[in-house]
Amino acid sequence: MKRHLKKLSGFLRNKSGASVLLVLMILLLLFIFTGLLLFVFNFWEKTSYKIFTGKAAYRFAKVGIDSAIWEIDNDSREYDALTDTWNTTFQGDDVDINEDGIPDAKWFYIKDKNGTITGRYAVLVEDESGKININYAGSKDALWPTHTVSDMDVFSDVIGKKRAYNIITYREGRKYIVPSDVKLADGISEEVYRKIKNYITTFSYDLNVNRYGKERINLNNAPFEILFYTLKNLGYEDVVAAQVALNITAYRDKSRIPPQYEIGSTTFYGVNKTPYFNEIDAVRPWKKETIGEVIILREIGGQFIELFNPYSEPLDISNWKIKGVVTLFSGFWNDVCDESEDILDDITNGETDIAPERVKSIMEKLVAASIVIPKGTKIPPRSYYTIGDLGSIMIVIIPTQVGPIIIPLLVPIKEPDGCQYYEPILAVNPGSLGFIAEYLSRIPLFANLGLDFTMRLYDSKDNLIEHTEYIADLPHTTVGKNDPRMSGVLDWYPNSPTPGKPNVTFQPWIGEEFGKTDWLLNWPTSFVIRNDKMLSVSEISFIHKKEHWKTLDLWKYGSDRKIIDYFTVVEHPEEPTYGRLNINTASEVVLCCLPLVDKQVADAIIGARPYKDISEVLGIYGNNSSPQELLSKEMTRYGFNFRDNTFDFFIDEEKEKELIFSRIIDLITVRSNVFKVAAIGQKVQDINNNGKIEEREVISEKKVVLWYDRNKKRTIYRREIQ
């Protein structure tokens, strides 16, 4: 008990000290609490200010974004170029938005109602079609060219072939979502990524439409009528439009039967991979002899018909038929010759009273037939097939009191020399028999055959291959074609006989696609027919215009370039094609990813901008005094370097002049759909009121990056960078 009282007494004696201690502890707690409140209030103030200024900076960036989208949406859709307002409006040298070390944008300042600068923004708009789409460019396939985006390189000169290969390999398992995903591929470090980040995309696509927004026509499956009316609407005359449409159809279809189309009374035939009539010797000189009162008209020499295969492969003409030429039915050949020889011997010996039965026997055996080419016959590449004559006609005219008796005889010959095949040719279309026709018209066989100067070539299944009208030749000349593909009456010219050899009238240079010397080696390059689907729209340059030695003109005078923008070889043109490059906006580095395009070609493409349609990439042929002429020089360089760049044994041919064009035309565009918009917004305070914003006066900054699809009018991907 005493002990407890003692403790209580001690407590009471120390109460004043405890009170002081308690007060001190309370004061300390109040101090700490007050300090914490001050810290929280200060932190809240700073955070709130930061949030407030950050939101202001974001709003300023959003103003830039909205301005850019407005410019994109209200720009002309005919073509897109760096001269468009979506680029020029924001272009400047104040700020480097894409972080390539080169300023690319200018500041737009925002002021309050007092005129004080409160913020600013800068915008960079980039055309995604001016970049390489890493989801589609490049291929591991050894087959090349494919005339698709996979023919493009993926910066192998910049990052090395191995890394480029890795980029292509990775996407086989998973497509890249955004361009920065390329870092997922082996070997693509941050450092490597920085080298290509401004040149790559995953969003670009092209619509298969022309400059007027109309869907392009697939050359490989469009019916004749669509081709015909499209060409008519482009300004071609009916006859030209029909012929070109037929020739496109013949070029792409597997069938080698020339397609036909009628306009009025005229039938047009497509040019296909077949032999052509090339030279005809229809009229031979005749010699008049008399034996007493008997007149004998002798045909001197034999007639011939020549077919020409100008293509690089043999053409099978087994059992083909030639109509418009009268031959003697082979079963009666020996009988007619024997009887003719006997009658001629009798007349030579002075006998004029020829029994009617003998004449009747000959007349009955003069059975007209067409030429049928023997089975197994093939015309070798770029060769001739000449059908010569086994029989020379002799007309015996015996005067009598009741009128002359006309007896046709047939004398065996074998002319001209060197023919691949011979037939007893009685007449090459009776219309070409000239003065002798008066006498022959009294012979029933000839009188009933008609005089129309036509000749027709049929295949073994009686499909019409060629129908030609020709002019009558003179006794000592033939008629021959210049361009064997031509078949009108005005396409035949008087010609010195050249069986088995080029015609004197063979003049490939007149179409201006060959020079006056190189045609000797390069004329075969004019004859290209795929008989399969076109791989590239550039193949229309092989289409014959049904003018002598003229195909559609693309590179030189460009008279047919307008066709290119209206056609495609894309199987489904209603669907987008991913990864085409816009040649109006692509940089030199990107353009060099196109096949056969090096720095010189890329610089020429850039120098000749802008392009309103893809055909203009050929430039203008001239004296190199303008950017377009310099472009033409670079684009056609492989056609003027005295080398066989296509490994087809021809040097500086038309195909080589269009080589670069043919490799890139299906890979390029001049219109764009997706744009990358990057905007920086800053909340600022012009502390010194000098109207200029220094670095220390920037309070807050926001960067917004998005990809905008103008065609769909929506943002397809967006991100913010603090």
Tell me: the pLDDT tens digits for 165-208? 999 999 999 999 999 999 999 999 999 999 999 999 999 999 99
CA distance 247 to 253: 10
pLDDT of residue 432 exceeding 50, the answer is: no
Q: What integer is the mean pLDDT of 225-249? A: 96
Residue 237 has pLDDT above 90, yes or no: yes
Asked whether residue 12 carries a pLDDT value surpassing 60, the answer given is no
Please give, one letter per residue, the 3-state secondary structure of 48-68.
HHHHHHHHHHHHHHHHHHHHH
Contact 385, 420 (CB under 8 A): yes
Tokens of 539: 């193949």
How distant, in Å, are the alpha carbons of 154, 159, 161, 475 from that of 140? Answer: 11, 17, 11, 65
Q: What is the mean pLDDT of residues 301-318?
A: 96
pLDDT the model gives residue 9: 55
Q: What is the pLDDT averaged over residues 34-63?
A: 74
Using CA atoms, how far apart are residues 253 and 250, in angstroms rounded to an integer?
5
pLDDT of 166 reads: 96
What band does 360 get if pLDDT is binned at 50, 70 and 90? confident
User: Would you call 20 helix, strand, or coil by DSSP?
Assistant: helix
Q: How confident is the model over 617-658, as pLDDT tens digits?
A: 999 998 888 999 999 999 999 999 999 999 999 999 999 999
Distance CA 627, CA 660 (A): 17
Mean pLDDT within 551-555: 94
By three-state DSSP, how is residue 143 classified? coil
Does residue 375 surpass a pLDDT of 60?
A: yes
Question: Looking at 127-141, 230-244, 319-333, 696-710, which range is the least confident one?
Answer: 319-333
The CA-based angle 348-352-355, given to 5 degrees, is 115
DSSP string, 628-666: HHHHHHHHTGGGSSSS-TTSSS-SS-HHHHTHHHHHHGG
Residues ≥6 apart with Cβ < 8 Å to 695: none
Which pTM does this prediction carry? 0.86
Bigger pLDDT: 86 vs 54? 86
Give the model's confidence band at 46: pLDDT under 50 very low, under 70 low, under 90 confident, else very high: low
What pLDDT shows up at residue 433? 46
Query: What dihedral do alpha carbons 161, 162, 168, 169 form, nearest 10°?
Result: 160
Lowest mean per-residue pLDDT among 40-49, 162-171, 380-389: 40-49
> Could you tell me which residues come within 8 angstroms of residue 629 by beta carbon, excluding any fewer than 6 positions away?
619, 620, 621, 622, 623
Count of alpha carbons within 13 angstroms of residue 568, beta-carbon side = 23
Quick one: pLDDT at residue 132?
Answer: 98
Binned at pLDDT 50, 70 and 90, residue 42 comes out as: low
pLDDT at 440 exceeding the cut of 70: no
* 44 against 273, higher pLDDT: 273
Residue 148: pLDDT above 90?
A: yes
Distances from the Cα of 658 to the Cαs of 162, 294, 317, 596, in angstroms? 31, 68, 34, 12
110-131 pLDDT per residue, tens: 999 888 999 999 999 999 999 9
Cis preceding-peptide flag for 416 (omega within 30 of 0): yes
- The predicted pLDDT at position 123 comes to 98
Average pLDDT of span 393-409: 83
10 Å CB burial of residue 405 (0-12, 13-18, 19+) is middle
**Which one is predicted more confidently, 629 or 350?**
629
pLDDT at 430: 47
Share of the chain above pLDDT 90, in %: 67
Q: The dihedral of CA 598, 601, 606, 611: what is its sign? A: negative
More confident residue, 422 or 686: 422
Secondary structure E strands in 402-484: 405-415, 421-423, 425-427, 454-458, 464-469, 478-481
What value does the mean pLDDT of the chain take? 89
Please say if the pLDDT value at position 437 is more than 70: no
| Residue 431 pLDDT greater than 50, yes or no | no
Indicate if the pLDDT at residue 447 is higher than 70.
Answer: no
Rounded Cα distance, 316 and 103, in Å: 68
